[in-house]
Chains A and B, each alone.
Chain A
Amino acid sequence: MKQLNLAILLSLLCIISCKTQKESLDTYEGMILEFGNSGGFTGAIDCYRMMENGQLFKSNDGKNFTEITSMDKKVAEQMFENFETLGFNEMRINDPGNMTFYVSLGQGKRVQTLKWGGTSQIPDPNLKRFYTNLFKLASQAKNPVK
């Protein structure tokens, strides 16, 4: 019995140690993909931050983020990669409107933000699709992480 318990313990330790390291937003120094929208009559804010390892955080004030889930790391990495492969790194759009939508990729203070919703600039269709896909991924994660 002791041997069985030891084996279970070792297995658990292995699972825990093999699992992706959880990061805190406060201390995280890697790349972050942020997306969301704000505005309208109510001025509501609905935004998300995604780490490269798939950890996803949500905020309704743009300031205080709560972790809601961990997405598949490969999916997260693909979304980070898409930002560049879709040419958003070369895109410049800063056109907030009554309802503003945005996607940003950054590391520390070095952030590339694409913001649309105003009447001056028409966002690239791929950017809107990218944003929609991000939102779909985020909305699939509803249960708060404990």
Chain B
Amino acid sequence: MKHILSLLIVLLVSAQGFAQFKQAAPSQKKINTDNLKINKINKVVKPSNDHEGFRYHESINFKNRDQRNVAQSAVSLNRTNNEFGVPQLIEVHTQVKKSNFARADFYQLLESQREVLQQTEIVQSFRPINEKMEDIGQYHVKANQYANDVRVYDGQISTHFYQDGKRLIMGRVIPAEMFEGLAHQASTTKDQAFETIQSNFTHYQTVEWFEKDFNQWSAELVYYNHHDHYHLAWYVDVYENLADRHNYFVDAVSGEILNTYGTICKFHDHGNLAPPDGPTTATNQDLLGINRTINTYEVGSTFFMLDASRSMFNAGASELPDDPVGGILTLDAKNTAPQNSDFQVEHVTSSNNNWGNNPTGVSAHYNAGQSYEYFRNTHNRNSINGEGGSVYSLINVANENGSSMGNAFWNGIAMFYGNGDSAFFPLARALDVAGHEISHGVVQNTANLEYQGESGAMNESFADIFGAMIDRDDWKIGEDVAKSNVFPGGALRDMQDPHNNASTNDYGSGWQPKHVNEQFTGSQDNGGVHINSGIPNHAFYLFATEINKDRAEKVFYRALDVYLTKSSRFVDLRNAVVQAADDLYGTAEVDAAKNAFSAVGIGEGSGTTTQEDAGVNPGDDLIAFFNLAKDELNIVDETVNTTFLGNPVVSGGLLSRISVTDDGSEMVVIGQDRLMYYITVNWDSGDVNVSVLSSDPIWRNVVISKDGEHIAALFDDETPRIWVYNFASQNQREYELYNPTFSEGVSTGDVLFADAMEFDITGQYVVYDASNEIPSGTGVSIEYWDIGFLHCWDRSTNNFTSNTNNNYISKLFSALPEGVSAGNPTFAKNSPFIVAFDLLEGNNYDLLGANLETGDIGTLYQNTGLSWPNYSRTDNQIIYNLSTLFGDDIGITNVNGDKISPVPNSDDFLIIGAQLGVWFANGDRNLYVNTDDVALVESNISLFPNPASTLLNIEVKEGSFDNYSVYDLKGAILQSGNLQNNRVDISDLPSGQYMIKLANPLNWTIKSFVKE
């Protein structure tokens, strides 16, 4: 549906009017009707004031601006909250750029997020247990949560501080209110607790030789979550004997045992228990038949596939062999699948430290160690998480149905290896597979590239790149595990030649694109993450062969670690690599990076628009929306976090969509009483004030310009007029709406009335949709909706434009195909030449984006009802009404750099039970960028003969066009080329309606014709 229509058709014969279209969303099975799932705050609500139909909240307390500056754009990533509504990951961007941090920074960060974390105080609630200041200027603090001076057993966070001002808070925090009223002093002693649990012991045996340095049991008072309620409990950690270790939770008030669990350890009972013997080594063959020396660990007479010999190993914090800190541990999944409930994990053990019967374990263990050393030695990275965290590998992992798994994967914690299938040998066999999987962990702990679309392809690519650098003898990926009967190239992927000796687009045989002109655009594979990785893979190959692998890998690692972010795209990768090359080396490396990316089609300007954009509003991301009953106006931040706001901001029957100035300080809306209301928000004090702008009950819609200088309004009588008012001069002007006529003599009918409106960023144009009527010979008029631009203000004269010369209207489409309507237009926030709008074609509802400069149109989302779209502050996302099987919500989709195409598979729910979202910000910016007029230039051209059978002639009275494209009504390009002698041979086209796009470097237009 890309380029679904470049819409112009001779006859406007629309069987369905947009009025119907606007009400035609299929009936939904509603859930959560009128029940917005947002965290409402109970505020003092002033009863209705003197404005009938409206009540407003006088006492809403916003944070003052100073407070807001501390936590600029606090973002809880992925809107992931725990069951108590506390985000598990919070990203904060501050203006504080420094490289030395201290404990005070930790407390200041948490204090700035205290409300989000749902805490009443910070210092007593979070007590650091580990902190680290790295040479590279990063600071990390891990802390336990406390309440009433008691440790919360399941409450722990890690915080991360970066030189660029970024801060991360990760982990699990329990709201303070969960502990209100709970006992904080035990009624029982820990000895009583131990006595209670002794009844459960079956083989308790005092381990006398550990008495000096080993507590056979210990107890700590904690708050423990049992069946969704917290209990003050004794947490007893007891070794019944060296073979059996258990944790017990005993209610410290009632003495009742709340819970117990053992460990995964499967010690063999040897009767006489022996102390841990420590690290050792063994040499055995791996799956390739090569002798490998691996580090193992002996406990008693049992040897474990545990490597506790690396520099990261922390013996004091480890509980061996189950819970090493800084260890490399290989475990056995016993041919079970992690998705299934019978999933098993056991230690890989040996009674004699001979692993000859387990080459799979030897391979996985050895390769994990090699991968660890690569990141340690080459990138000075201390393990996957950068903090010396343990590395886990699971072997003998099966599919859900129990069959052998021909795959390996990273699940966010560990590497999982299957034993192969018809296409693959056992996956643990290859070093680059281990390198690939461990690199996913590194990506997760650095840029955390989102696993879909281009960012997902980059995630895969980085895994391949480091996998290839760890197993650096060639440029192939998986050559030791891929079977040649399936992969003709002898490998799963090939960075040197991503086509990999397979047929074009035969992804199952290992073919990948090597240039963006081959880029996969489907939705499978999360938008082709394993397919499009071939493009950056090949860029790395070109870069590395130009400057050498040693330098290339360091540059790419720095790009990943320092510059890329979660939603970065290919163009960001290019910029990051170029910057990293400049940081580390010099001109030769920078040029090599540019050349490599250019060679694969990732240009410097890729994904950006060509006309000058306005600067992005620097304020906070905010979204105003209505509930489904349309009697509440709510404002939330982009994470749907309402903790800094009281909602609803305004209550009362609302008729029109809210319209907001660029700085978020002024809003206008029409009430169901048809009065015009004016809402101001003081973002410093948090004061919200509602007043009546026009007490005449005559209005249907109103919008305010971005600078707040003008409003445009529609009368309730559904006449074809737009009324515009200028606050400064207090002058007003009405514009009669009309449809421009064209040289073909095509009637586009009369305008009945306008409906949706929005000012452009300059305040000179209003984009609107309007219902139109074409009289027909049958006496039954035909209605349709389309989109127009009203040029109402001239900034150069600082006055209204003339409303008498009939040249103040231009149309997005000078005519629409039969049965097609367009409406609900909205401008991109920063590109006045980008609009998004609804398109109805039959029963299909598409949300489209159009670039008025290039004429390109893209399908941003295929909806089931009207979208009423609105771009985000930075134009990298778009929100819209979303009808699902189960209700009406506000949805969100990530948008590519062209602003008219979506990031595949990125659509998601944003706000449940909500509608008509308007994304705005509360910062100040210069709105008067040097932008071209937004309206299309109506070219004075005609096509003849029309209908035509062989040659279509184009008459251009002014100017000329260089090339043409012919589209069908679905937007598919059927033929294109240079325009010669102003005629196009259409003899090969089947009979029917078509569109032709005519373009030169400065202008374009689209006309329709009929092939006989």
B409 to chain A, nearest CB (A): 4
Whether B524 and A63, one on each chain, are in contact in the complex, defined by CB atoms closer than 8 angstroms, is: yes
Whether A99 and B409, one on each chain, are in contact in the complex, defined by CB atoms closer than 8 angstroms, is: yes
Whether B864 and A43, one on each chain, are in contact in the complex, defined by CB atoms closer than 8 angstroms, is: no
> CB-CB contacts of B1-42 with A at 8 A, as 1s and 0s?
000000000000000000000000010000110000000000
Whether A120 and B526, one on each chain, are in contact in the complex, defined by CB atoms closer than 8 angstroms, is: no
Whether A132 and B407, one on each chain, are in contact in the complex, defined by CB atoms closer than 8 angstroms, is: no
Main secondary structure of the interface of A (DSSP, over half): mixed
B410: A residues at CB distance < 8 A: 97-99
A128 to B88, CA, bound (A): 21
Does B873 reach chain A (CB closer than 8 Å)?
no
Interface stretch, picked from B581-589, B758-766, B879-887, is B879-887
Whether B31 and A110, one on each chain, are in contact in the complex, defined by CB atoms closer than 8 angstroms, is: no
- Find residues 860-904 in chain B having any chain A CB closer than 8 Å to their own CB: 862-864, 883-886
A60 to B407, CA, bound (A): 14
B377 to chain A, nearest CB (A): 24
Does B820 reach chain A (CB closer than 8 Å)?
no
Whether B444 and A119, one on each chain, are in contact in the complex, defined by CB atoms closer than 8 angstroms, is: yes
Residues A39 and B530 in contact in the complex (CB < 8 Å), given A110-B883, A131-B339, A139-B401? yes
B408: A residues at CB distance < 8 A: 40-42
Interface residues on chain A, number (Cβ under 8 Å)? 44
Residues A43 and B530 in contact in the complex (CB < 8 Å), given A98-B440, A132-B340? yes
Does B969 reach chain A (CB closer than 8 Å)?
no
> CB-CB contacts of B392-415 with A at 8 A, as 1s and 0s?
000000001101001111111000
> CB-CB contacts of A106-146 with B at 8 A, as 1s and 0s?
11111110000111110000001101100110010000000
A42: B residues at CB distance < 8 A: 406-408, 423-424, 478, 492, 530
Does B111 reach chain A (CB closer than 8 Å)?
no
A100: B residues at CB distance < 8 A: 451, 526
Whether A45 and B31, one on each chain, are in contact in the complex, defined by CB atoms closer than 8 angstroms, is: no
Does B456 reach chain A (CB closer than 8 Å)?
yes
A119 to B437, CA, bound (A): 15
A135 to B400, CA, bound (A): 7
A97 to B531, CA, bound (A): 16
Within the complex, which residue of A37, A101, A112, A136 is in contact with B885, where a contact is CB–CB below 8 Å? A112
Whether B864 and A44, one on each chain, are in contact in the complex, defined by CB atoms closer than 8 angstroms, is: no
Does A105 reach chain B (CB closer than 8 Å)?
yes
A108 to B530, CA, bound (A): 27
Within the complex, which residue of B340, B427, B531, B884 is in contact with A110, where a contact is CB–CB below 8 Å? B884
Whether B524 and A45, one on each chain, are in contact in the complex, defined by CB atoms closer than 8 angstroms, is: yes
Does B525 reach chain A (CB closer than 8 Å)?
yes
Does B742 reach chain A (CB closer than 8 Å)?
no
A104 to B863, CA, bound (A): 16
Whether B339 and A128, one on each chain, are in contact in the complex, defined by CB atoms closer than 8 angstroms, is: yes
Does B908 reach chain A (CB closer than 8 Å)?
yes
A100 to B409, CA, bound (A): 10
A131 to B492, CA, bound (A): 28
Interface residues on chain B, number (Cβ under 8 Å)? 58
Residue of B nearest to A118 (CB): B451
Interface stretch, picked from A1-9, A13-21, A69-77, A87-95, is A87-95
- Find residues 38-94 in chain A having any chain B CB closer than 8 Å to their own CB: 38-45, 60-63, 89-90, 92, 94
Whether A99 and B885, one on each chain, are in contact in the complex, defined by CB atoms closer than 8 angstroms, is: no
Whether B31 and A90, one on each chain, are in contact in the complex, defined by CB atoms closer than 8 angstroms, is: yes
B423: A residues at CB distance < 8 A: 42
Whether B409 and A39, one on each chain, are in contact in the complex, defined by CB atoms closer than 8 angstroms, is: yes
- How many A-B contacts are there with CB distance less than 8 Å? 132
Whether A98 and B409, one on each chain, are in contact in the complex, defined by CB atoms closer than 8 angstroms, is: yes
A46 to chain B, nearest CB (A): 8
A118 to B908, CA, bound (A): 15
Residue of A nearest to B418 (CB): A40
B75 to chain A, nearest CB (A): 13
Whether A96 and B884, one on each chain, are in contact in the complex, defined by CB atoms closer than 8 angstroms, is: no
Whether B885 and A107, one on each chain, are in contact in the complex, defined by CB atoms closer than 8 angstroms, is: yes
Residue of B nearest to A142 (CB): B401
Residues A96 and B451 in contact in the complex (CB < 8 Å), given A38-B526, A42-B407? yes
Residue of B nearest to A134 (CB): B400
Whether B407 and A44, one on each chain, are in contact in the complex, defined by CB atoms closer than 8 angstroms, is: yes
Residues A44 and B406 in contact in the complex (CB < 8 Å), given A38-B525, A119-B444? yes
Whether A41 and B436, one on each chain, are in contact in the complex, defined by CB atoms closer than 8 angstroms, is: yes
A99: B residues at CB distance < 8 A: 407, 409-411, 416
A95 to B912, CA, bound (A): 18
Does B918 reach chain A (CB closer than 8 Å)?
no
B340: A residues at CB distance < 8 A: 132
A44: B residues at CB distance < 8 A: 406-407
Does B176 reach chain A (CB closer than 8 Å)?
no
Most buried by A among B406, B412, B883: B412
A60: B residues at CB distance < 8 A: 508
Show the binding face of B for A, using Cβ within 8 Å.
26, 31-32, 77-78, 80, 88-89, 339-341, 400-401, 403, 406-412, 416, 423-424, 427, 433, 436-437, 440, 444, 451-452, 456, 459-460, 478, 492, 507-508, 522-526, 529-531, 862-864, 883-886, 905, 908-909, 912
A-B contacts, 30 listed (Cβ < 8 Å): A39-B451, A39-B529, A40-B407, A41-B407, A41-B409, A41-B436, A45-B525, A61-B507, A61-B508, A62-B523, A97-B410, A97-B411, A98-B411, A98-B437, A98-B451, A99-B416, A108-B864, A109-B862, A110-B884, A111-B884, A119-B412, A119-B444, A120-B77, A120-B78, A120-B88, A135-B339, A135-B401, A136-B401, A139-B400, A139-B403
12 A-B pairs besides A94-B909, A101-B339, A121-B78 with CB distance below 8 A are A37-B339, A39-B525, A61-B507, A61-B508, A90-B32, A106-B885, A110-B864, A120-B77, A120-B78, A120-B89, A135-B401, A136-B400
